[in-house]
């Protein structure tokens, strides 16, 4: 059984979120990769404290499992942002144009994530 005093509940919830995250994220990554016309990248989960996502030069995307606690708008913003990096590994004008095409509401979603993100790190 779970002993909340030992943090068992937190660990159990964390594991549950982690188990749900990839199956939830993958179709969304596939959607944005399809929009951009790039192959579906490898996707892995991250447990980072300060990053919501990352894209490696080798084409792998890592997404923080805590994004599952965010709104769909915030989640899609991060996913679209990382998928845009598959084409542009920087934050220059062409990257921003690509992100704008993939997710036109990115600025509002980014602002919301910056305002609420601390809540998703509560456990």
| Percentage with pLDDT > 90 across the chain | 85
Q: What is the DSSP code string of 32-73?
A: HHHHHT-PPPEEEEE--SS-SEEE-TTSEEEEEGGGGGS-HH
Torsion of CA 28, 101, 44, 71, to 10 degrees: -60
Please write the tens of the pLDDT for every residue from 49-90: 899 999 999 999 999 999 999 999 999 999 999 999 999 999
Return the pLDDT at 26. 98
Q: How confident is the model at residue 4 (pLDDT cuts 50, 70, 90)?
A: low
Return the pLDDT at 8. 79
List, in order of start, the domains of the chain with CATH numbers: 21-120 (3.30.2010.10)
> Does the pLDDT at position 1 exceed 60?
no
């Amino acid at each position: 059984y779970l002993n909340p005093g030992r943090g068992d509940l937190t660990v159990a919830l964390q594991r549950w979120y982690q188990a749900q995250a990839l199956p939830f994220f993958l179709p969304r990554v596939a959607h944005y990769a399809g929009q951009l016309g790039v192959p579906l990248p490898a996707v892995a989960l991250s447990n980072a404290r300060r990053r919501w996502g990352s894209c490696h030069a080798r084409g792998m995307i890592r997404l923080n499992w805590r994004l599952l606690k965010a709104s769909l708008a915030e989640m899609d913003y991060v996913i679209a942002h990382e998928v845009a990096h598959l084409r542009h590994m920087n934050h220059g004008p062409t990257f921003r144009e690509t992100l704008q095409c993939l997710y036109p509401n990115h600025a509002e979603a980014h602002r919301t994530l910056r305002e609420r993100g601390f809540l998703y790190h509560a456990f």
